Amino acid sequence: LTRAQIYAHLHYYDQALDDLNEINQNEKHRTFLSVLLHGRLLSLLHRFDEAKDYFEMALQWKTDEKENDFHLGLIHSELGDYAQ
């Protein structure tokens, strides 16, 4: 996860997504942060449908992170799902 975060910070999004794909494929390694970062990167790449799936997956974690709700709202807005 740390390497993916560094890649993302350096704007190497494809490399970051490669790492996150590997992490998030295995349920034992998947974390709230890995799923949230995955959604953020997909959103930055305008892959909004995929990003929405990751933000919704992140909502399954019990957390005080309100940022996730904010990002999911942005994705729904980009998709034109204003009722959400």
Q: Which two tokens stand for residue 50?
A: 């995929």
Tokens 């794909």, residue?
21
pLDDT per position as a tens digit, 40-64? 899 999 998 899 898 888 777 766 6
Give the closest residue to 58 by CA, choosing from 45, 71, 46, 77: 71
Q: Please check the confidence at residue 84 and state whether its pLDDT lies above 70.
A: no
| Mean pLDDT of the region 14-37 | 92
Whether the CB-CB separation of 31 and 65 falls below 8 Å is answered with: no
Distance of CA 4 to the CA centre of its chain: 12
pLDDT digits (tens, 9 = 90+) for 63-73: 666 776 777 77
pLDDT score for 82: 61
pLDDT for 79 equals 66
The distance of Cα 2 from the centroid of its chain, to the nearest Å, equals 15
